[in-house]
Structure 1
């Protein structure tokens, strides 16, 4: 019996140790261009479109140089997509599909920003940023529309207006956010940078 408990304990530790990545997104957020590479070949290697890679790096053409560092979009794992979809479900319940995409985009933008943690988990659980984390509604399952919105936000990276914040001014007041530039208004939410 003790042997079975020991084996179960070891297996549990191994499961948790290998289920969560040990590297942060920041270590994977750039690609150093090698001789012979093109935007198209790099994008193909990462499973993204070359137009998205071009947009992420503010390139007006496809010219790149060896040694150049290219920013990559956030490429979340399935577990991270689920976490983000649950946040979107709880945070943007009752909002339009476009609003849900925009909420997911803000989180992805924060991962890329030096002002916030460099992982989806870190951004979502960063202090008192999101009420669903504080009130526990983030633990409820996401609906199909929220899952689809997350996927679209992943593909949308590089094409947005770099929003880092959102809030509903009818429900919350923020002196901090009042000084930020409004990038768009969707439904009841203001999106800002």
Structure 2
């Protein structure tokens, strides 16, 4: 009996030790808190976790950009890994060959649509939205959405998530060389990046 108890204690201690070794200490488990390190900024933390800088600051009741090493920040919830992957695949398909800033802007359009009362309120529904039998985004229509995203598209999504809520409200984008809709070209232009015009 005594030997069995000692074995159980030894096994339990070993299991706890292995768990402690395998969990990194720089970030809390489940990514709910983060300890500020030298060189950190809200922007870098927001981009790493894919959370809005505005939301990160509001969650932690911060009114300035000032951070102190050792501070613990609560990391607000962000979109799911599946939503990030879907958004990155859309960015990859829609903005292949476009500048990095244009990829960030495409991801931002989707996030802005989620926030807008004119569109569905989640990423998947926005991306797969249909109007008069056609999908809102051509890669969904032609199947290019199913191609895996490259590293730059994934990075652009992380940046768009960090930037979320600080842009100029773009809800649409189009290539003026190929656009056939008079309606889309009548929208107020917010910016032009590469071959895409962004509008609201």
* TM norm. shorter chain > 0.5: yes
Number of equivalences: 135
1:84 aligns with 2:87: yes
Q: In the TM superposition, what is the alpha-carbon distance from 1:176 to its structure 2 partner?
A: 1.3
1:108 aligns with 2:115: no
Pair 97,119 (structure 1): closer, same or farther in 2 beyond 3 Å: same
Residue by residue over 1:59-90, the C-alpha shift from the partner in whole angstroms, topping out at 9 and shown as x without a partner, is: xx78xxxxxxxxxx993100100000000000
Name the Cα RMSD after superposition: 2.7
* Kept in 2: contact 1:183–1:191 (CA 8 A): yes
The aligned counterpart of 1:53 is: 55
Pair 47,96 (structure 1): closer, same or farther in 2 beyond 3 Å: closer
Could you tell me which runs of 5 or more consecutive residues in structure 2 were left unpaired when the two chains were aligned.
1-45, 65-75
Report which of the two structures shows the higher radius of gyration computed on alpha carbons. Answer: 2
The aligned counterpart of 2:186 is: 179
Runs (4+) of structure 1 exceeding 4 A deviation are 46-49
Pair 129,74 (structure 1): closer, same or farther in 2 beyond 3 Å: farther
Q: In the TM superposition, what is the alpha-carbon distance from 1:177 to its structure 2 partner?
A: 1.4
Could you tell me which runs of 5 or more consecutive residues in structure 1 were left unpaired when the two chains were aligned.
1-43, 63-72
The aligned counterpart of 2:153 is: 146
In the alignment, the residues of structure 2 paired with residue 92 and residue 74 of structure 1 have an alpha-carbon distance, to the nearest angstrom, of 27
TM-score by length of 2: 0.61
* Kept in 2: contact 1:105–1:157 (CA 8 A): yes
TM-score by length of 1: 0.64
In the alignment, the residues of structure 2 paired with residue 47 and residue 166 of structure 1 have an alpha-carbon distance, to the nearest angstrom, of 23
Q: In the TM superposition, what is the alpha-carbon distance from 1:180 to its structure 2 partner?
A: 1.0
